[in-house]
Structures are given as C-alpha cells and as structure tokens.
Amino acid sequence: MNDVTAHVVILGAGHAGGTAAALLRQYGHEGPITLVGEEPIAPYQRPPLSKAWLKGEADADSLALKPVEFYAENNIDFRSGVRAVSIDRGKKTVALSNGEAVSYDILIIATGARPIVLPIEGKDLAGVLFLRTAEDAEKLKAALGPGKRLAVVGGGYIGLEAAASARALGAEAVVIEREPRLLARVACEALSTFFKDYHEKHGVTFELGAEVTGFKGEGGHVTGVALADGRVIACDAALVGVGARPNDEIASEAGLECARGVVVNLEARTSDPAIFAIGDVAHRPMPIYGRMFRMESVPNALEQAKQAASAITGRPAPAGETPWQWSDQYDIKLQIAGYPFDVDSLVLRGDPKSAKFAVFHLKGDQVQAVEAINSPPEFMMGRQLIGNRKPVSREKLADTTVSMKEVAL
Ligand code: FAD
C-alpha cells in the first residue's frame, strides 16, 4: 500500500535521481523528498560532456535537468556537496558525510557509476584525466586546443567522442586500444572499421592492440603513455576511458543483494521492499532477453526512475521499453537499440562508404539489436522489431529498395 506522505530519500543527484525526484512530484507524491548529491551542482545531463559541451557548443545552464529553483519550488530538499556514507536498514537512516543522519520511509539508491582507474605507474600524475562529471569535463577542456596532444586510453564511445571533440578544438588526438579493433566490447566489426576510417579522415591516429603499462611524466605532469612494446606515446594530457564500475558499495555494505550493481526487479525494487535502485548502479531484468544486466544509458536511467516513482505512488507499472542509446561523433549520429545477445547472423543495410547504413543483429529471424549510422528509420523500426519479437525476412532487411515499414509488416 503506498503512502503519499512517506519521506523519500534519494541518494545520488544525477540523471536518475534528479528525474525520480521530479516524477514523484509529478505523480502526486505529497510527502517530503530529500535528494542527496555528492557533486556541488544540481542534476545535469552527462552526454554533452564529451560532445557539445566539450566543444564549447553548450553552456552549464543547458546541461541542467531542471533550473535550480525547481527543487525549492517543488519542496524537494536538495542537498548538494554531501555524500551518503552508510545505510542502517534496521533504523531506516542514512549517515551523511557532514555528520548528519537522515531517516527515510523509502530510499532510492541512484549513485551511478565511476570510471575505472588503471592500477599502473603514473596514474596520479596531473593531466591523467577521466570524464564522468562536469568538473572532469572542465579539466579536459582546459587541456585541449591548438598545439596540444591528447592521448585517449580506451577506444570506447566516450573516448572516441572526446577524440572527435579534441579535433574540433584543434588538438591532436591519438587513441590507444588494447583490443585489435575499436568498440570491441560494444559494437560489431563493420562499425569499428567505419569509425576508425572516419576518425582517421579527421586526423585522429590509432594504436590498436596496444597494452598501456604506465604514464610517464615530468615535474608531476603527464608527458606520455608507456606501452608494453616499450614505446612511449607523447601527450600533454591522457584521458582514461576504459569503462565504469557501479557505485554499489553503500548497498552491498548494507546487505542488499548486489551482482556488479544493485539487484532490482521490474519496479526497480531491491531485496529490501523499502529500497529502490535506479540508473547506472542497478542490475536489472530485461524481459525481452530473459536476462538481468546493468546498463549505462540515459534512457535506462529515465525508465527506471519511472518504474520506481510509479511503484512508490501506486501507479500502474510503466510498459517495458526496448533499450537504446546514441553517440555523436563529428556529423555522425549513431543510434543503437537492443543488445546483441545470442546472435547468429548480421545483416548490413546500406553502404558504410556513404556514412548511412545499419547493422541488424539477428537470432534466427528475430532482431536482437540494431546499430544505425545516420539512419533514423532503421533505428526506429529496428527498435520496434526488437520489442515486438516479429520475425523478419533477411533479404528484405538487406534491400534498401524495400522500406523499413514494409520490412516490419
Ligand atoms: P549519474 O548521472 O552518474 O549520477 C549519479 C550521481 O550520484 C553522481 O552525481 C554522483 O556524484 C552521485 N553519488 C555517487 N555516490 C554518492 C553517494 N554515496 N552519496 C551521494 N551522491 C553520490 N548515455 C546515453 O544514453 N547516451 C550518451 O550519449 C551518453 N554519453 C555519455 C557521455 C559521458 C561523458 C558520460 C560520463 C556518460 C554518458 N552517458 C550516455 C551515460 C549516462 O550519462 C548515464 O547512463 C547516466 O548519467 C546515468 O544516470 P545515473 O543517475 O544512474 O548516474
């Protein structure tokens, strides 16, 4: 039974936490809401940090999820610059880094994820950077510009976006990747090849199959990235983008079930009925694949914020969504729907040379995922096909003279 007067405490004022606070009010929750955030600013969007914002095409206000007055106007007690340290589930309290304790009726853990730090020599040198927060992005931006050289460790989406932004700012960029191809963990080979070629056309250089063993420095500042083959790649700054790990320690220390992320159900509820977990920190079910996993995307943060806010306010559970995300590099818009689980074949639609194509990942005759480059219809219809599990004809899918609408019939 939901209680409209319950005190909801949200740990983490990021995309998921900020959205959950706003939705609770929108859905009619009347009780107190406390939003506790470690960062000094109100909830904001992270995607522009490696894209428009880094290139100077977006300002701090445009990053904000809501204007800062929104929280006071909606009776949301937003506490910035404060870290939640521990949860006492018996007493239903959270200890904060400023020595206070906040009691809750319902708790939402929305603590996100943090960049993986490579445990190697020189990791603490000035100029060895990460990209998760607005503060990180500020430091990275200050390190870029004509005559500067950025070494990006890790050929994933964030690293590639940062390399594209570095080029736009006139800096040189070299991407160092351990695997023999870019985006090895997250994209198919056609996409890896496409992005490598596209970046090379824009002046980015690559070291693939290269193991980073340390950072070299002078006077406490990074000057190069050392590789296992003995070479040192010179740079003025090194951006480490080798993945993120969930900030789930506060949950696991409180005895909540965790599996590289806080385990939740389709209401975003944890093993404790009074505690929810949402966003990058949550390990969640995805019924279309019959699996549990953790996602790092804005649409996932929004979907789970909706799930939790609906459950708390007694609304019907929102309809399940097909996961999706995007990446912007130069004039390329990549849209991805689904995940390529148990895939047995790929279908290419369009021509990579035209920078307008899509790769469909199939299990039998069902679409499991689609990666679409500058191809919104392929993305949209592909996403629908993933959600409704309709069988498709491989021949029609590969034939660009057959419209996506017809393919999906
Ligand atoms: P976050 O937004 O990280 O928020 C978590 C907050 O909790 C942080 O402010 C953190 O400081 C705070 N916190 C942590 N521990 C505590 C604690 N103990 N007490 C109090 N506060 C705490 N997704 C896309 O879909 N498309 C993109 O193009 C895209 N680009 C991205 C580019 C960059 C550079 C980054 C970093 C991410 C990008 N993402 C993108 C991912 C997306 O931003 C995340 O999935 C989303 O922000 C997750 O929201 P969240 O609220 O779970 O986590």
Task: Using alpha carbons only, give the angle 203, 330, 338 rounded to the nearest 5 degrees.
Answer: 120
pLDDT tens sequence across 214-266: 999 999 999 999 999 999 999 999 999 999 999 999 999 999 999 999 999 99
CB of 385 sitting under 6 A from ligand 1:
no
Q: Closest ligand 1 atom, CA of 299?
A: 25
Domain check: are 75 and 146 in the same one? no
pLDDT computed for residue 108 by the predictor: 98
Q: Which structural domain, as residue segments, surrounds residue 58?
A: 8-114+244-313
Residue with CA closest to ligand 1 atom 9: 14
How remote is the CA of residue 15 from the centroid of ligand 1, in Å?
A: 6
Q: What is the DSSP letter of 397?
A: H
Residue with CA closest to ligand 1 atom 25: 297
Q: Which residue has the tokens 């590099």?
A: 329
**What type of residue is 141?**
K
Quick check: is 15 in a domain? yes
Single out the residue in 217, 240, 263 at which a domain terminates.
Answer: 240
Q: Closest ligand 1 atom, CA of 132?
A: 36
pLDDT tens sequence across 48-102: 999 999 988 888 888 999 999 999 999 999 999 999 999 999 999 999 999 999 9
Which of the four pLDDT bands, split at 50, 70 and 90, describes residue 408? Answer: confident
Residue with CA closest to ligand 1 atom 2: 14
CA distances from 143 to 101, 128, 149, 239 (A): 40, 10, 9, 10
Domain check: are 190 and 100 in the same one? no
Which of the four pLDDT bands, split at 50, 70 and 90, describes residue 1? Answer: low
CB of 326 sitting under 6 A from ligand 1:
yes
Domain check: are 305 and 222 in the same one? no
Residue 364's domain is classified under what CATH number?
A: 3.30.390.30
Quick check: is 322 in a domain? no
Tell me how far apart the alpha carbons of residues 409 and 393 are, in angstroms, rounded to a whole number: 10
pLDDT tens sequence across 169-196: 999 999 999 999 999 888 889 999 999 9
Domain check: are 98 and 16 in the same one? yes
Domain check: are 355 and 303 in the same one? no
Domain check: are 278 and 212 in the same one? no
Which of the four pLDDT bands, split at 50, 70 and 90, describes residue 297? Answer: very high
| Ligand 1 pocket mutation, candidates 66, 111, 303, criterion most atoms within 8 A of CB | 111
Q: How many Cα atoms are found within 13 Å in the side-chain-facing hemisphere of 13?
A: 26
Domain check: are 288 and 226 in the same one? no
Is the distance from CB of 31 to CB of 5 less than 8 angstroms? Answer: yes
pLDDT tens sequence across 200-218: 999 999 999 999 999 999 9
How remote is the CA of residue 111 from the centroid of ligand 1, in Å?
A: 8
Single out the residue in 240, 257, 276 at which a domain terminates.
Answer: 240
- Residue 384, token pair as written in the block: 């629908």
Single out the residue in 240, 264, 282 at which a domain terminates.
Answer: 240
CB of 296 sitting under 6 A from ligand 1:
yes
User: Radius of gyration of the chain from Cα atoms?
Assistant: 22
What value does the mean pLDDT take over residues 197-201? 96
Q: How many Cα atoms are found within 13 Å in the side-chain-facing hemisphere of 281?
A: 29
Q: What is the DSSP letter of 118?
A: P
Quick check: is 319 in a domain? no
Task: Using alpha carbons only, give the angle 233, 235, 240 rounded to the nearest 5 degrees.
Answer: 85
Quick check: is 47 in a domain? yes
3-state secondary structure 300-345: HHHHHHHHHHHHHHCCCCCCCCCCEEEEEECCEEEEEEECCCCCCE
Domain check: are 163 and 222 in the same one? yes
How many structural domains does the chain have? 3
pLDDT computed for residue 159 by the predictor: 95
Quick check: is 326 in a domain? no
Residue with CA closest to ligand 1 atom 30: 47
What value does the mean pLDDT take over residues 323-341? 94
pLDDT tens sequence across 307-322: 999 999 999 999 999 9
Residue 223's domain is classified under what CATH number?
A: 3.50.50.60
Domain check: are 15 and 92 in the same one? yes
pLDDT computed for residue 290 by the predictor: 93
Quick check: is 398 in a domain? yes
Domain check: are 183 and 260 in the same one? no
Domain check: are 134 and 53 in the same one? no
Quick check: is 271 in a domain? yes
Domain check: are 176 and 103 in the same one? no
How remote is the CA of residue 236 from the centroid of ligand 1, in Å?
A: 27
Quick check: is 120 in a domain? no
Mean pLDDT score of the chain: 96
